[in-house]
Structure 1
Amino acid sequence: GFQRTMLIAIGGLLKVRFKDGEREVKVQSICLEEDAARLVDDDSHVRTYALDRLGIPLVEITLEPVTGTSEEIANVALTLGRLLRATRRVARGLGSIRQDVNISIEGGGVVEVKGVQRLDQLKKVIEYEMKRQHGLKIIAERLRCMNISIDHPMIVDVSRLFINTESRVIRSVLDARGVVKALALKGFAGMLAYEPYEGIRLGRELGELVRFYGLGGIFHSDELPAYGISREEVDAVRRALMLNSNDAFILLAGREESVGSAMHAIVERLKQALIGVPAETRAATQDGRTVYSRPRPGAARMYPETDIPPIAISKEMLSKLRNSIPKTWDEYVDELSKRYGINKVLAEKVFDSDHLDLFERIAESTSIQASFIASTLTETIVSLERQGLDASRLKDEHVEDAFARISRGEIAKESIASIFEVIMQGKADSVDKAIDMLGLRAVSDEELSSILDGIIGENYNIVKEKGDRALGMLMGIAMKRLRGRVDGSKVNILLKSKIEEITRK
């Protein structure tokens, strides 16, 4: 199917904090989209689509170009995301909000990077693209200084030169009746592997490009002999292309149709390499890099929707919308802070997290201090994730169950991190099993009193000598033995009472 788009609004602005103060970022448009099916496989005869996205409604908000650092641009995305979340009408969680960001440097084409899902990923993508695009600019300047031209490309079928090759890639292509073609590049020696920055090189750009045509990559003379291609085969290709030591070549292996299309694309890309940064669409990787996805589509692909009539906007509709504008992010954070008695920093963390609704349910249904609930959801769980544990195993029902048990006095609040850790490790699939595994069943008042009496007996002389000043030491010993089974405040009160009783005698 096709992606269908309805224009909802134009204009508007966001107020965003930059290093030089607050600036207004203008909104170009707000559209409602109906997503298309997703292409998952494409060969010469069959295209396979997944229908999991077909018809999914999306809101697309397009901002005007912004100049700034990666952190400032990420703050623009954060501000927009907070505004959307403040409506309480958008889905939360990874993948629910995605940024497609257009990045360009002076004199370069606009590169659209799609699929950025996290703010930390957005900063890395911008920084990587800045480095990549500046690197391509340096390569272009160097090529122009060398007076290199791609006006009359020479492409030769060199399959016969690899009849006895030891390259597994080329061998499998020839066995499948594919071809090997070579492109001569006059004066290009060293330029395909040249790196103005680590990992930024023309050979890599071309390798990403040909994957669009179903090929695994390229071989080029700056990196050969290697990959099973011998010195003799390299020399034979050079002779076939009539190259000297200042020249380079590129090899492509695959189905003849794919190789022909990819070779044409390489020639066009090399012509663009003489200019600098080409306009294209790239995909964001999880580690913050980008890879070639496809050429940038032109305006010709856009045409009016013929099945749906335009919707007239009346004054009454606008008046109704004005009266239903939701609170701003700042207003919600202030309200959250006041309602639950937590500081503004913690309120911001809760609101920006994926646990706002969960926090409010727990805070409303238990007597536990809201600041402890908030810090557990926004700090403890995040800390366990950073240790490499799988947060997807920890469900909302696990979290609510654990807090309910703390509220009923069944377990101590100090035990919650250990319970979550065991569940996120996959060692337990319920709070009950985690408690049994950790031995966290609460001790009775009689058992607690007996344990504390034993600790005091072991340190009786110190208690007699120091009195109340021994409390800290005894608390350390007690909590080490009891951690997770009794609330620390309860231990503190009982220990203090027992010490006072001894000192009065």
Structure 2
Amino acid sequence: MTDTEYDYEALGLVAGLEIHQQLDTATKLFCNCPTELREPEESVRTFSRYLHPTRSELGELDAAAVEESRVDREFEYLAYDTTCLVEEDDEPPHRLDDEALETALEIAQLMDMAPVDQAHVMRKIVVDGSNTSGFQRSTLIATDGAIETSDGAVGIEDLMLEEESAQRVAETDEGVRYSLDRLGIPLVEIGTRPDISTPEQALEAAERIGMLLRSTGKVKRGLGTIRQDVNVSIAEGARVEIKGVQSLDDIDDIVRNEVGRQAELVDVADELADREASVGDPQDVSAVFEDTESGVISGALNSGGSVMAVPLYAFDGLVGREIAPDRRLGTEFSDHAKRHGAGGIFHTDELPAYGVTEAEVEALRKAVGAGPEDAVAIVADDTNTAETAIEAVADRAGTAIEGVPEETRGANDDGTTRYLRPLPGAARMYPETDVPPVEPDPSDVPEPELLTEKVDRYQVVYDLDAGLAEQVAYGEHMPLFEDVVADGIDPTLAATTLESTLTELRRDDVPVETLTEDHLAAVLGMVEEGDLPNEGVTDLLAALAEEPDRTAEEAAEEAGLGGADEEQVRDAVVEVVERNEAQVEEEGMQAFSGLMGECMGALRGKADGDLVSQLLREEIQKRA
């Protein structure tokens, strides 16, 4: 099934997107802390919390939050010298950040959305530890927009302004460790209507939204700054929310594989119905494996744990059935077991294997009353984990008989997905009483120039070729390019430096990520002022990247990269020509190429190549 292309119209594919994009603001959404990411080693202290779900205004508990809370974990937080009481949830949040609100309104304008009259901050329950408060603050900013794709319009249902969650750093023996540097960074969440009908349209819609976001010049760039969630269902399947698609290029594969997974699960359910399948009660089968040679099972038993089993009547051959590339129905069962702390499951469609013998398989079947047409799944772990995990497997097997479950899944790097938790419900949202509402005013918000329009303008106004114009417009340094060109920097120099030169340095393993916008602007400014030749830009940027605490002027002086005046350049050229006088007399102007390289080497990047070329030609002509 991995190479199957489905008839999406016949299957009734319906998909929608949720795009989460960090905004590049000076401060966080509800406090004045900076939005710069830090290294965990920079943390100055830690503190811990345990989180539990709370009831909504109507007294309801969200199912996803309840399941999350069943796993008892300690959440440890890394705090920095910039961490404030708001981030620690020891002080009420401040007012909504004005810069973030203005950027959100710009984005809404690009999608033809209508801003709300009054924006109210809401609390969204999240008890996985990614928020110190146990909830995420979210505000509806605009509704009812649209974007165009080649397969028709895709409606934009809503645009939310939210606070980013804390970044997961590590799993610990007690629970999870998070870093607070990311918590509270302003984030827009853009939700489309379920108007998407093919994987290709899903990718095109995501690309269009991404282009509109970057057109503002006010969104963060780089890995982790934008995430795509995809909602997918087919007519006989169910709505599944797929979280955390990191790469935009994976969206069509994610949709394609989810359609295939749901189609396979529908077929499995039909087969189970024909077989009149059922799920038995979990049982302790530790005695079957008293003398086992399976390392996993003996390890659990020797540690005082148990082996729990559940008979799956009439499931034989279906637990091992592939439902997505390299994922089987048994993998789905295993995801649920892992959610409750187990390492995974074994099942009879794959046994004997892993040290489990044929005799043990037969004894297992006998112990739970399973015949040859049945399957058995087992979990070996500490007793409490094994019991809760096998119950989760039994529940998921029961759902397989019914069809496709509604759930939240996580995106894998290979384009497949894994179970995360049940779909959240309305009970997870309730008003935030500590932040006053705001009245968005779009009247003073300018409409940003689209990146596609920038590409055209850069070619016409700055005489950049089409490829370089597109690289600059879509590149992460586009706002800096616009700023330095406005300050008088040559557009071609700025474009090639910010795109080609930095790319070349990165390929040579120069740590260009240490270069700030101030570094880049200063280097370009030195060229414009005549203090650095074009040929010295690469060397100076490399020197700055290695020691970013210096200024561009300090690095240039230390590396001997300052610009030489015309007299100094002529002296260096004359010296090279006189040293090669015999060659010049014999070859004349044909000696130019070899001597040019020698002159540039002697000047060590202190002179512009055009000037060196001019003076060298003059000196050769004198002697020829």
TM-score category by the smaller chain? 0.7 to 0.9
Provide the C-alpha distance between the structure 2 equivalents of 1:148 and 1:448, rounded to a whole number of angstroms: 91
Tell me the residue number matched to 1:451. 576
Tell me the residue number matched to 1:259. 386
Provide the C-alpha distance between the structure 2 equivalents of 1:456 and 1:291, rounded to a whole number of angstroms: 74
Q: Which one has a larger percent helix, Structure 1 or Structure 2?
A: 1
- Determine helix, strand or coil for the equivalent of 1:373: helix
- Amino acid in structure 1 at the alignment position of 2:379: L
Provide the C-alpha distance between the structure 2 equivalents of 1:459 and 1:160, rounded to a whole number of angstroms: 95
Provide the C-alpha distance between the structure 2 equivalents of 1:249 and 1:437, rounded to a whole number of angstroms: 72
Tell me the residue number matched to 2:424. 297
- Amino acid in structure 2 at the alignment position of 1:208: D
Provide the C-alpha distance between the structure 2 equivalents of 1:432 and 1:490, rounded to a whole number of angstroms: 22
2:263 equivalent to 1:141: no
Equivalences for residues 97-496 of structure 1 within 5 A: 97-117=226-246, 121-138=247-264, 140-141=266-267, 144-145=270-271, 147-195=274-322, 198-274=325-401, 277-285=404-412, 289-304=416-431, 321-329=442-450, 330=452, 340-343=462-465, 345-364=467-486, 367=489, 369-382=490-503, 385=506, 391-407=512-528, 412-414=533-535, 416-417=537-538, 444-445=568-569, 446-452=571-577, 454=579, 457-458=582-583, 460-463=585-588, 467=589, 475=596, 484=605, 486-496=607-617
Tell me the residue number matched to 1:9. 142
Provide the C-alpha distance between the structure 1 equivalents of 2:494 and 2:277, rounded to a whole number of angstroms: 64
Provide the C-alpha distance between the structure 2 equivalents of 1:286 and 1:394, rounded to a whole number of angstroms: 30
When residues 375 and 64 of structure 1 are mapped into structure 2, their CA distance, relative to the original with a 3 A threshold, is farther
Is the contact between residue 284 and residue 290 of structure 1 (CA under 8 Å) also seen in structure 2? yes
Gaps of 5+ in 1: none
Tell me the residue number matched to 1:67. 196
Provide the C-alpha distance between the structure 2 equivalents of 1:476 and 1:43, rounded to a whole number of angstroms: 58
- Amino acid in structure 2 at the alignment position of 1:249: V
TM-score by length of 2: 0.64
- Determine helix, strand or coil for the equivalent of 2:420: strand
When residues 35 and 502 of structure 1 are mapped into structure 2, their CA distance, relative to the original with a 3 A threshold, is closer
For residue 187 of structure 1, report the CA deviation from its aligned partner. Answer: 4.1
Provide the C-alpha distance between the structure 1 equivalents of 2:252 and 2:235, rounded to a whole number of angstroms: 15
Q: Summarize deviations over 1:173-228 as a string: whole Å, max 9, x none.
A: 33443322112234444433333664132232332332221222222233334444
Provide the C-alpha distance between the structure 2 equivalents of 1:267 and 1:423, rounded to a whole number of angstroms: 60
When residues 448 and 7 of structure 1 are mapped into structure 2, their CA distance, relative to the original with a 3 A threshold, is same
For residue 157 of structure 1, report the CA deviation from its aligned partner. Answer: 0.9
- Amino acid in structure 2 at the alignment position of 1:194: R
For residue 28 of structure 1, report the CA deviation from its aligned partner. Answer: 0.9
For residue 321 of structure 1, report the CA deviation from its aligned partner. Answer: 2.3
For residue 167 of structure 1, report the CA deviation from its aligned partner. Answer: 3.9
Tell me the residue number matched to 1:29. 158
Provide the C-alpha distance between the structure 1 equivalents of 2:527 and 2:369, rounded to a whole number of angstroms: 80
- Amino acid in structure 2 at the alignment position of 1:355: H
When residues 308 and 427 of structure 1 are mapped into structure 2, their CA distance, relative to the original with a 3 A threshold, is closer
Q: Summarize deviations over 1:7-55 as a string: whole Å, max 9, x none.
A: 33321223x342x5xx433221223335677888999998987665665
When residues 73 and 442 of structure 1 are mapped into structure 2, their CA distance, relative to the original with a 3 A threshold, is same
**Alignment length (residue pairs):** 484
- Determine helix, strand or coil for the equivalent of 2:210: helix
- Amino acid in structure 1 at the alignment position of 2:491: A
- Determine helix, strand or coil for the equivalent of 1:292: strand
Provide the C-alpha distance between the structure 2 equivalents of 1:421 and 1:433, rounded to a whole number of angstroms: 13
For residue 389 of structure 1, report the CA deviation from its aligned partner. Answer: 6.3
Tell me the residue number matched to 2:87. none
- Amino acid in structure 2 at the alignment position of 1:59: V
Q: Summarize deviations over 1:376-409 as a string: whole Å, max 9, x none.
A: 3234434555677654334334434543454455
Is the contact between residue 573 and residue 599 of structure 2 (CA under 8 Å) also seen in structure 1? no
For residue 61 of structure 1, report the CA deviation from its aligned partner. Answer: 2.2
For residue 344 of structure 1, report the CA deviation from its aligned partner. Answer: 5.8
Is the contact between residue 34 and residue 58 of structure 1 (CA under 8 Å) also seen in structure 2? yes
Provide the C-alpha distance between the structure 2 equivalents of 1:31 and 1:478, rounded to a whole number of angstroms: 60
- Amino acid in structure 2 at the alignment position of 1:107: E
- Determine helix, strand or coil for the equivalent of 2:479: helix
Provide the C-alpha distance between the structure 1 equivalents of 2:305 and 2:471, rounded to a whole number of angstroms: 57
Is the contact between residue 143 and residue 157 of structure 2 (CA under 8 Å) also seen in structure 1? yes
- Determine helix, strand or coil for the equivalent of 2:279: coil
Is the contact between residue 125 and residue 284 of structure 1 (CA under 8 Å) also seen in structure 2? no
When residues 109 and 333 of structure 1 are mapped into structure 2, their CA distance, relative to the original with a 3 A threshold, is same
RCO comparison, higher one (Cα < 8 Å, 6+): 2
For residue 371 of structure 1, report the CA deviation from its aligned partner. Answer: 1.9
Q: Summarize deviations over 1:435-493 as a string: whole Å, max 9, x none.
A: 79998677751224423554675465343xxx4x7656765676688775543323332
When residues 173 and 379 of structure 1 are mapped into structure 2, their CA distance, relative to the original with a 3 A threshold, is farther
Is the contact between residue 574 and residue 619 of structure 2 (CA under 8 Å) also seen in structure 1? no
Tell me the residue number matched to 2:187. 58
When residues 3 and 266 of structure 1 are mapped into structure 2, their CA distance, relative to the original with a 3 A threshold, is same
For residue 127 of structure 1, report the CA deviation from its aligned partner. Answer: 0.4
When residues 230 and 360 of structure 1 are mapped into structure 2, their CA distance, relative to the original with a 3 A threshold, is same
When residues 75 and 502 of structure 1 are mapped into structure 2, their CA distance, relative to the original with a 3 A threshold, is farther
For residue 159 of structure 1, report the CA deviation from its aligned partner. Answer: 1.9
- Amino acid in structure 1 at the alignment position of 2:162: E
Is the contact between residue 455 and residue 477 of structure 1 (CA under 8 Å) also seen in structure 2? no
- Amino acid in structure 2 at the alignment position of 1:354: E
Is the contact between residue 71 and residue 123 of structure 1 (CA under 8 Å) also seen in structure 2? no
Is the contact between residue 336 and residue 419 of structure 2 (CA under 8 Å) also seen in structure 1? yes
Q: Summarize deviations over 1:274-317 as a string: whole Å, max 9, x none.
A: 56543322233456553332221123333455667776x6xxx7
Provide the C-alpha distance between the structure 1 equivalents of 2:618 and 2:218, rounded to a whole number of angstroms: 52
TM-score by length of 1: 0.77
When residues 393 and 43 of structure 1 are mapped into structure 2, their CA distance, relative to the original with a 3 A threshold, is closer
Provide the C-alpha distance between the structure 2 equivalents of 1:432 and 1:173, rounded to a whole number of angstroms: 64
What CA RMSD, in Å, does the superposition of the two structures yield over aligned residues?
4.3
